[in-house]
Structure formats: structure tokens, C-alpha cells
Amino acid sequence: MTHADPAPLAALSSRSLKGRLRVPGDKSISHRALMLGALAAGRTRIRGLLEAEDVVNTARAVTALGAPARKDGDVWEVLGRGVGGLAQPDGPIDFGNSGTGTRLMMGVIAPHDITVSMVGDASLSKRPMGRVLGPLKQMGLEVEGDRDRLPLTIRGTSRLVPITYALPVPSAQLKSAILLAGLGAAGETTVIEREATRDHTERMLRHFGAEVTTVQRDGATHITITGDAELEGREVTVPGDPSSAAFLVAAALIVPGSDITIQGVLVNPTRTGFYTTLQEMGGDVTLLDQREEGGEPVADIRVRCAELSGGAVPAERAPSMIDEYPMLAVVAAFARGATRMDGLAELKVKESDRLAATAAGLAANGVRAEAAGDTLVVHGEGRVTGGGLVATHLDHRIAMSFLVMGLASAAPVTVDDTAMIATSFPEFRSLMEQIGAQFGGGGA
């Protein structure tokens, strides 16, 4: 995707938001369903797949590797090749803006005797890949020119060796890449994590028939996958994405008189830190009809506008809400008192330096905030002046977070580009308007 023609958009102060709705399928689970479908023998059918650019690029990637992914009605089908069965692609594989797709696919490719050139857009090409490439190289993956950013060319091997690897930082992408590579290594590959990260890969590996064990030892979690695995095609239902739902939830909390219900949202405990934090701040957020679908916990989320108070968000919660901090910072601006968020180092290596971009966006709209080290402090006054122009730095979550701000601020908030929102949540504007949000100008 190119961003040659920015699409600015202003969010206007809106009347109360009302309604029941669904958000698109979870992005993390969508990526993994396509990849494991490609590594399984036979046909995998996926319902509720998120059809955003990041995920569609993963579908194109597995197709290029010899495992065709196609939409049939409202279901996506992947014709898998089995672990070790992927084929040499005809040319470079373009991952667009997707860090998840890129990093996890490195693990998928690793146990195959193929050479793959990986490319992406300008934003993705700035993001470091060395953290994932390091352990994969220990297992036998080769990287041409020893590069750590796209574009890069990697060579897999069917003689991959298993490793035991302690994560230096909590990262589900890093954990997942190693476990996916371990599917094709002879023996047991173990990842050790001190802090819990999202566990969708482990859940879905088991769903497809892999042997995965998780044990607690010496204050850490040891996740072990048995290699030379044989996966079988499966039926997968993708629940609603809690990171997409976060924008709607936040909007309903800060726009007076709002009352919305979002149906069928993933509430995996490794992904619900944002909702826990909102409840601690006084947010009227209730999980209804909690149930399990396809190995993942799901619920309907009801949200009503409420008066919010600032507070402290502990660093250990960061892995369960890393994508939601820009949105939380905006919510905190409407709370009374200071909100302190610790442990935000990972925000600096997202689609943009999200920590700096969030602080700058707040300042542009009259909100006092300090970003220092890995901490962000937002001084909420219960209301936001607004009226500012926010530089998104091609980051979809910065764009959506500050558009939500504009729905409740005194003056409209404008973001400089919305084109990149399609990478993760193409329905953002239409769903917001469905519940009563108002925007001005062209854009998403």
C-alpha cells in the first residue's frame, strides 16, 4: 500500500452513541489461522477472518508459498501443504504494513528448504527484525547480508535444530515465530517467558493437532513444542478483535449519554488489560454472556458513559494491552487526575514511535502529558479542548485514537492521514457512524 495521497479527517463533537454491533475478526488470530492452515495437511476453513490489508497480505503470502488461500462465500479456505511442504515463491513477498505477518512468517519459512525475499512499506521497513531473526538463526535460518530490516532475504532449512530460548522481553511475536519454526525442528523447542504474553499461537497449535506443553517452573512459563509435527486442516471461527473494539468502547465511555453493546468479542485474559484498566478508572464496562468458541473465550461487551478517575497502570499489564495505550491515553485525558502508564518500551518500535506520537497528539489538543523513558503520564481535567492537528506518522492506531478524542472534545480534532486505517480496521468509520459518531471532510 502506498500513502502518496494522505486522507485527513476531522472528528466532530458527537451526540450520544447508541446501538448493538459487531467488530471485525481478531487480527492476531486471523494471521495465525492462515499460517497454520498452510502448514496443516488438507483443507482449513476460516469463518470471521479479518479482511484488512495486513491479513490479506498474509493470505497472499501463504498462497505465494504454495498453500492457496481463497474466499468462498463468507468462508476463507486454505489448502495446506503440511509442515515442511511449502514451496519456493516466484518473487518477493510483500507484507505491506504488517509486523505480525512478517515476524511470524519468518518462523513459518524457517523449516523449509526455500529462499524468500520479504519486502514491506516504508513504515514496516523501518521496524527492527533482529529480535526475531536472532533465535531463528540459532536454529539454522540464514539471512543474506545479515540485515535486520526489510527488505531482506532469508533461507530456511529442513535440518532446523531445536533450541531453548528465554525471551529477553515479553513479545508474543517473538515467542510465536520460535514455536512455528519448532514445528519443523527435530526434537523439542522451548520458549521461556517471565511475563505472560498473548497465547493465541499455543491455543491454535493445539487446535491443529500440535503437541504443546506449558508448565510453570522457577517463576517462569516454559512453552514446549514437539517438532516433526503433523498438523491437520481444521475449522476455525475468529472472534471479534478486542483491539478494534477498544476504539468503540473508549468512544462510548467519553461521549455523554452513550450506551453500546459489542457482540462476540475475544476476551482472552492475555488481551484484556485495557478493559481491566477502564474498570479500575470507574468505567462502566460489563462483560455479558461469557462463553468459549474455537478454544478462545468470548463475550458481549456493554459500555455506558461514566465519570473516570486517573490512576496507575502497572508495567506488568503492558503485554495484555500494548496496542491500546494510545487509546487509553486519550481516555485518560477525559478522566480527572493523573494517569501514569509504565512499561511502554515496546511502543517505541511499533508502526511509529507510538509513545512520542501519542504525547505529541495530546499536546496538540491542549492536554498536558509527559513521556519520559518507558513512562507516559497524562494529566486529565475531565474535558479536552481539542482543535489540534495530529501527525499520525502512518500509524493506524494513532489515527483512530485521536479521531475518538474528537468525538468528545470541545473543538474538532483532525488527523493528517487516515489511509492506513485500512491495514487493520477498514470498517472503523462506518461502524462509528452506525452508532452516531460524526466526522467532517474526506478520509477513512
Which amino acid, residue 370? Answer: E
Instruction: Please give the grid coordinates belonging to residue 105.
Output: 512468517
Task: Tally the residues of the chain.
Answer: 444
Residues 6+ apart with CB under 8 A from 130: 148
How is 243-302 classified by DSSP, letter by letter? Answer: HHHHHHHHHHHHSTT-EEEEEEEE--TTS-HHHHHHHHTT-EEEEEEEEEETTEEEEEEE
**CB of 320 closer than 8 Å to CB of 273:** yes
Stated as kind and residue range, the H or E segment containing 238 is none
**CB of 406 closer than 8 Å to CB of 13:** yes
Q: Cα-flanking dihedrals φ and ψ of residue 171, to 5°?
A: -150, 110
Which amino acid, residue 120? Answer: G
CA distances from 242 to 236, 245, 304 (A): 18, 5, 17
**CB of 3 closer than 8 Å to CB of 73:** no
Query: Measured on CA atoms in the order 434, 432, 123, 112, is the torsion positive or negative?
Result: negative
Instruction: Please give the grid coordinates belonging to residue 321.
Output: 494491552
Nearest to 195 by CA among 168, 165, 225: 168
Q: At what angle do helices 99-109 and 27-39 cross, to 10 degrees?
A: 20
Place of cell 481539542: 386
Q: Please tell me whether residue 429 adopts helix, strand or coil conformation.
A: helix
CA distances from 217 to 77, 159, 213, 311, 319 (A): 39, 29, 13, 33, 20
323 among known catalytic residues: yes
Rounded distance between C-alpha atoms, residue 80 and residue 191, angstroms: 26
Rounded distance between C-alpha atoms, residue 156 and residue 105, angstroms: 11
Q: Please tell me whether residue 352 adopts helix, strand or coil conformation.
A: coil
Options 94, 323, 395, 417, the catalytic residue: 323
Nearest to 392 by CA among 413, 412, 410, 372: 413
Place of cell 491500546: 324
Rounded distance between C-alpha atoms, residue 294 and residue 289, angstroms: 16
- Active-site amino acid positions: 323
